[in-house]
Structure 1
Amino acid sequence: MEASTSPILQAPVDIPVVYTDPWYMITVLGLYLYFVTKAGPQFMEPRKPFELKKLILAHNFLQVVSCIYVINEVLFITDNGIFYFWECRDIGRTPEHVRRYYSLAYFLFWLKLSELLETVIFVLRKKQNQVSKLHIFHHFSTVTLVYVLINLNTNGSAAYFCVLLNSIVHVIMYSYYFVAAVADKSFVQALTPVKKSITVIQMTQFALILAQVPCQLVLCGMPPYVLLYFTTVIIGMFYGFYDFYTSAYKVMQRRKSQTSLPDAKQ
């Protein structure tokens, strides 16, 4: 049977309410914002920073393993065809595909909630400078995008293209974080170019995701409100990472130029 004429299997009718009722998500995100911007810093103000090394290592390791699982599931659900991101796709060709489509979506919901722990760790270690607007926006919005994936997606498994790219990036990123947490300072300094490359990879990811949007809109159709929200979030992330990259790069270049100048006292 041709792909274009295969039946579109519908979503199961018994999606748990935790994924359909937005108030669950809104409550968690509201508590997250309150803690990382107000309650957490106030709690830590008179206290010394926590070490939390074991928690950091466990968090980074679980993120890597989880993202590898996500990549494997996306490839199965799409029959290894997800890289043809311009193609229209239904949810699945068999009941097993449909079941794993939604099982993965539910897993992603909890995975993105678990990533909020990263900001909490920053606060408890009194690294509030790392709790930037970009950082909060990134973690906040990814949770909402998974909610959209579960409840408002009309583009079938093609919606997993951005999930695949993000998971690949996270395998690289959290592997770097894990190594940086256990390695000595000299080795971490040697990995500085890798950190810069990760930011470039992240921007490339968003560029590829934005390239998929017009293809899905023109060829497959997409509800305007979903398109507007999704595109706005991705553009916001791309701009944020680009701004971070250019700012950090300029600072590094300025420091290098200053250290290379001859000493005026000599």
Structure 2
Amino acid sequence: MNSYMDKYGDPRTNPWFLMSSPLPTLMICLSYVYLVKVLGPRYMENRKPFELTNLLIVYNFLQVLFSSWLFYESMMGGWLKHYSLRCQPVDYTDNPIANRIGGAGWFTGRYNFQCQPVDHSKHPQTMRMVHACWWYYFSKFTEFFDTIFFVLRKKFDHVSTLHVIHHGVMPMSVWFGVKFTPGGHSTFFGLLNTFVHIIMYTYYMVSAMGPRWKRFLWWKKYLTTLQMAQFVGIMVHAFQLLFIDCDYPRAFVWWIGMHAVMFFFLFKDFYNQSYTKPKVRARSPVPVTTSLSEDVTYKNGSVKNGFSNGHTNGLVRARTVLPAGN
């Protein structure tokens, strides 16, 4: 397998960390699924939830910074200056900008939105794009902490199928992109995704600050809409290459496009369950919280946040929560 990877993989990324074989990434992803679905819940079964408020604020703030940097590098690596929105081939040169990533090309006109082939050179700008692709791949591992924090706080209902599929699949998907096509047309996916993550992790950071910040989170529904719009944009951008000539691998066109289709319908189902179906709270004797920070502990005979039932004990967990890491 390694000989095949070395033969057909991009020689610029072959020696990089975790790039020689897909097996380490696959094992990390499988370990993640086992940790959050089996080992973690078993470990927390007879333990109290961890109080991680300050850690969550810091973590989400760092994710905002990381996503902002990746978005900037994507712009400066190609999309700002020289990438085409129609077709952008991969730059296989040693150009530093290509090694950085594609963002710069999107804004400067060098990247084409309709067809952007891969630049195989080592030009400085080309290499800038390539490096940013690897860091985007690495960011998929940092997002595992979204789920780990859910488990440590015993919010097992947040560890949904959508959440685990998304986080478990993305590192493997991005690995193939960095291995074979680091740069070019597919980096538009990362460009949109990092932009959405800036907004998404900002939401989570504010949400973690506590109930007094709830009034600033009225736009949660629109964040989900933005996430779906992201996948529509990725679908259109990828599948257009099926109808035009572009020096970009068709296999990756289908790979990226079908990922976008799958996640669009998963998020659409989440949206319907959360916002368009009759509200559960209308029939419930206790309020149903709707964001990461709205878990409330009710004590006998007490009233909190305007709700009273006089007898409810324990933690009321959120049932409507944005799927992290989109």
Q: TM-score, normalized by length of structure 1?
A: 0.84
Larger mean Cα displacement after TM superposition, 211-220 or 69-78: 211-220
Partner of 1:105: 133
Q: Does 1:128 align with 2:156?
A: yes
2:203–2:217 contact (8 Å) kept in structure 1: no
Partner of 1:174: 201
Distance 2:23 2:169 in 1: 15
Partner of 2:177: 149
Larger mean Cα displacement after TM superposition, 218-227 or 97-106: 218-227
Q: 1:92 to 1:176 in 2, by over 3 A?
A: farther
Distance 1:15 1:111 in 2: 19
Post-superposition shift, 1:254? 6.4
Specify the code of the residue in structure 2 equivalent to 1:233: H
Post-superposition shift, 1:133? 0.6
The answer to which structure has the higher helix fraction is: 1
Q: For 1:82, which of 103, 106, 123 is the aligned residue? A: 106
1:91–1:97 contact (8 Å) kept in structure 2: no
Specify the code of the residue in structure 2 equivalent to 1:86: Q
Distance 1:236 1:85 in 2: 22
1:67–1:171 contact (8 Å) kept in structure 2: yes
1:64–1:175 contact (8 Å) kept in structure 2: yes
DSSP-derived class of the 1:16 partner: coil
Distance 1:129 1:13 in 2: 39
Post-superposition shift, 1:199? 0.4
Partner of 2:218: 193
DSSP-derived class of the 1:51 partner: coil
Post-superposition shift, 1:229? 3.0
Distance 2:13 2:134 in 1: 14
Q: For 1:163, which of 183, 187, 190 is the aligned residue? A: 190
Q: 1:97 to 1:13 in 2, by over 3 A?
A: same
DSSP-derived class of the 1:86 partner: strand
2:238–2:256 contact (8 Å) kept in structure 1: no
Please provide the CA RMSD for this pair.
Answer: 2.5
Distance 1:160 1:24 in 2: 23
Distance 2:57 2:233 in 1: 30
Post-superposition shift, 1:144? 1.7
Where relative contact order (Cα < 8 A, 6+ residues apart) is larger, the structure is 1
What does the per-residue CA deviation read over 1:18-77, in whole Å, with 9 as the maximum and x for residues that have no partner?
123111101111110101111110110000001122221221111111111111111111
Q: 1:89 to 1:130 in 2, by over 3 A?
A: same
Q: 1:196 to 1:153 in 2, by over 3 A?
A: same
DSSP-derived class of the 1:18 partner: coil
Partner of 2:233: 208
Post-superposition shift, 1:257? 9.9
Distance 2:26 2:166 in 1: 16
Distance 1:98 1:33 in 2: 35
Q: 1:229 to 1:13 in 2, by over 3 A?
A: closer
Partner of 2:50: 50
Specify the code of the residue in structure 2 equivalent to 1:138: H
Q: 1:251 to 1:102 in 2, by over 3 A?
A: same
2:22–2:172 contact (8 Å) kept in structure 1: no
Counterparts of 1:243-262 in structure 2 under 5 Å?
243-251=269-277, 253=279, 255=281
1:41–1:128 contact (8 Å) kept in structure 2: yes
Post-superposition shift, 1:161? 0.7
Specify the code of the residue in structure 1 equivalent to 2:259: V
Distance 1:13 1:64 in 2: 26
Specify the code of the residue in structure 1 equivalent to 2:241: Q
Post-superposition shift, 1:250? 2.9
Distance 2:216 2:272 in 1: 19
Distance 1:181 1:134 in 2: 22
Q: Give aligned pairs, total.
A: 247
Aligned-residue sequence identity (percent) comes to 30
2:115–2:241 contact (8 Å) kept in structure 1: yes
Q: Does 1:236 align with 2:251?
A: no
1:19–1:106 contact (8 Å) kept in structure 2: no
Distance 1:13 1:209 in 2: 24
